[in-house]
Structure 1
Amino acid sequence: MSLDIDKPSRLLFAIAEALRSAGLGLKVGGRQDFDGTFDQAWILIAIERNAPGERANDGRIAHVLTLSLQVIVSPTLDNPGLAACDLAAVLKGWVTDNRWGLSGSQCDLPMNIDALPSTLISGSQEYLAWTLSFTQTIYLGALLLDDPLGIPKFARTWEVSNIDDPDQYTELEG
């Protein structure tokens, strides 16, 4: 059963929950959660951007989110930068084609998946890391095809002054 989402942060929480339950042995959180302990590797999740996109076929507003998963491993490893690179590669394969348990009508597949070396500075400590970034479009808001009674409606762009105004839509003829 997929979850309905009503705000962009729900995608972030769905990704975090999916990563925690994936059995990869990772600590998952935001940058504020990082405490510098390394009994497991860290994945720090953030929404970096919320750009516009094309509305869904049902009229929901598109939010093209740019997300980042920063991979941080113990600095005591022989080569922490390469270890983070390897873990980012595993995550890249896992992110591909993942909707995180969300409905396909509200969440597209990830796109533009890319991984780059990065650095995390926490206090006076610097950590070698890798950041996996991708875009994922989610669709939020009311369905413009339905009014509260569920009557299908439509509008022609050349006949209305504002296609985003549901009051300018008219009932479909049955």
Structure 2
Amino acid sequence: MSLDIDKPSRLFFAIADALRAVGPGLKVGGRQDFDGTFDQAWVLIAIERNAPGDRAHDGRIAHVLTLSLQIIVPPTLSNPGLAAGDLASVLKGLATDNRWGLPGSQCDLPMNIDALPSTLISGSQEYLAWTLSFTQTIYLGALLLEDPLGIPKFAKTWEVSNIDDPDQYTALED
């Protein structure tokens, strides 16, 4: 996978890859991937929301993504709800301070990490689960500091009439 983030789904796949690397004890995918088989515990990843945020210092547009990781363990365990809660705690530790291998200039650290008991309903079956949720900001799009030729430009707010007008920017001198 390219290190450059060009769409929100890159974060989804980066998280999935990081969870798979934790060990062979997890099945990782989206909600549509859950098939009800339990040779391993499941972690279902979803992007729940894409909210606006403050632009990055380089001008990229911020996407504040709300993500959820729903943890389901085999229902044959003596207490699947507690086992899912324990796994949620482990994943909470993994999510803390993790950019999932993505560049720091385009991916902030997770914020507002929270884990709650939940239920997954698949067909007529109900599964005790836990859902770990957090927000993570990614920055997409072109750098505003560069024109299409890649020449860094700047403008002094006190010298231009409109800071948002790219024609009022001048090239940086070497």
TM class by shorter chain equals over 0.9
Matched, 1:45 2:34: no
| Cα deviation 1:11-47 (Å, max 9, x = unaligned) | 0011001111121510000000000011100000000
Q: Secondary structure at the match of 1:84?
A: helix
Counterpart of 1:159, as a letter, is S
Find the counterpart in structure 2 of residue 122 from structure 1: 122
| Number of residue pairs aligned between Structure 1 and Structure 2 | 171
| Cα deviation 1:122-148 (Å, max 9, x = unaligned) | 000000000000000000000000112
Matched, 1:13 2:13: yes
Q: Name the % identity.
A: 81
Find the counterpart in structure 2 of residue 86 from structure 1: 86
Contact kept, 8 Å, 1:2 with 1:103, in 2: the verdict is: no
How far apart, in 1, do the equivalents of 2:42 and 2:102 lie?
24
In structure 1, stretches of 5+ residues that fail to align are none
After the TM superposition, which residues 147-158 of structure 1 pair with which residues of structure 2 at under 5 Å, given as runs?
147-155=147-155, 156=157
Root mean square deviation, CA, Å: 1.8
Matched, 1:159 2:161: yes
Find the counterpart in structure 2 of residue 170 from structure 1: 169
TM-score by length of 2: 0.92
In structure 2, stretches of 5+ residues that fail to align are none
| Change over 3 Å in CA distance of 1:92–1:173 after alignment to 2 | closer
Contact kept, 8 Å, 1:119 with 1:129, in 2: the verdict is: yes
After the TM superposition, which residues 55-74 of structure 1 pair with which residues of structure 2 at under 5 Å, given as runs?
55-74=55-74
How far apart, in 1, do the equivalents of 2:167 and 2:22 lie?
46
How far apart, in 1, do the equivalents of 2:93 and 2:169 lie?
45
Contact kept, 8 Å, 1:151 with 1:171, in 2: the verdict is: no
How far apart, in 2, do the equivalents of 1:139 and 1:54 lie?
10
Q: Secondary structure at the match of 2:22?
A: coil
